[in-house]
Structure 1
Amino acid sequence: MAHDPLLTVLKLAKEAEEQAALRLKAAQFEHQKRVNQLQSLRDYRLDYMRQLAAQQGQQIRADYYQQFHRFVRQVDEAIKQQLAVVHEAEQQKQYRQQHWMEKQQKRKAVELLLEKKAQQKQLRENKQEQKLIDEFASQQFLRRKLNTHQ
């Protein structure tokens, strides 16, 4: 049997889909890592705010209070920047998801073509076999008919 070029196309499509799946997995991991970092920053800010709340009612030096607010603003800015990083990672993840789905669709299309070709080949073989069976049956019928007339 001659090598079907579609088999090569299928092999390449499978490899492309696998690569896209690996990139998607990496993007999902990166996104989750960025989300975790954002949550850590938020938790850190919350803990820091709780420390200030715990000191309420006590005398706090003005320079400590200013330093505290400066630090909270820095944490807020880090949170804002991390939100942008998370958003970018989410977009990358969505892009990778779409790319993987496209590769998956291409692979499935090639598999479908191969399946149709195989069905068509089987149909041709079945017709050829039926034709041979019919010819054989006709020849036997003619032989019997000739033998009975002799």
Structure 2
Amino acid sequence: MAQRSVMDLLRERAEDKLNDATLQLGKVRQTYEKARAELTQLQCYQQEYQQELVARKQGKGLAVTHLLSYQFFINSLNQVVEQCSVRVASCEDSVTQALSDWKNDSRRLNAFTTLKCRADDIAKLNESRQEQKLMDEFASQIFLRKKSA
């Protein structure tokens, strides 16, 4: 019985750990999706400003100060896009790691669940054998009493 209690405890801890891993996976996926959306938005801004700069150059033209201002802003935006790309890659790595942890915890829980089921089956089989043994002994005693009477 003590062995089954230990197995139950191990299984419960594995289940708790899997629940924690599931929550962590959800958080890092949410962070990744947010970072990915920010990157997409920044890339759209980047493209819009570059197109606007080209259109203005081809149109009436731009004063040097406006041209320098646009170029400075676009360069700054390029740096932000690069930083955001690095952040997205980092978030993607975090998702990969959290998913790996979740899979490992899931396998561990499944292993403990299987072991617990096997232990329960063995306990039921032993109990059934014990009951059969008692029934056989009881039947044998009744048979001996009838035979001697």
TM-score (norm 1): 0.86
- Name the residue aligned to 1:81: 83
The letter of the residue matching 2:100 is: Q
- Name the residue aligned to 2:128: 126
Superposed, which structure 2 residues align to 1:40-51 within 5 Å? Answer: 40-51=41-52
> What's the % identity of the aligned pairs?
27
Question: How many residues in Structure 1 have an aligned counterpart in Structure 2?
Answer: 147
Shift of residue 35, structure 1, vs aligned partner:
0.6
| Distance (Å, rounded) in 2 between the aligned partners of 1:90 and 1:134 | 65
Deviates more, 1:118-127 or 1:41-50: 41-50
- Name the residue aligned to 1:26: 27
Task: Please state if 1:104 is matched with 2:97.
Answer: no
1:116 to 109, 115, 118: 118
- Name the residue aligned to 1:57: 59
| Distance (Å, rounded) in 2 between the aligned partners of 1:111 and 1:57 | 71
| Distance (Å, rounded) in 2 between the aligned partners of 1:74 and 1:138 | 95
Shift of residue 121, structure 1, vs aligned partner:
0.4
Shift of residue 144, structure 1, vs aligned partner:
4.1
| Distance (Å, rounded) in 1 between the aligned partners of 2:70 and 2:34 | 28
Gaps of 5+ in 2: none
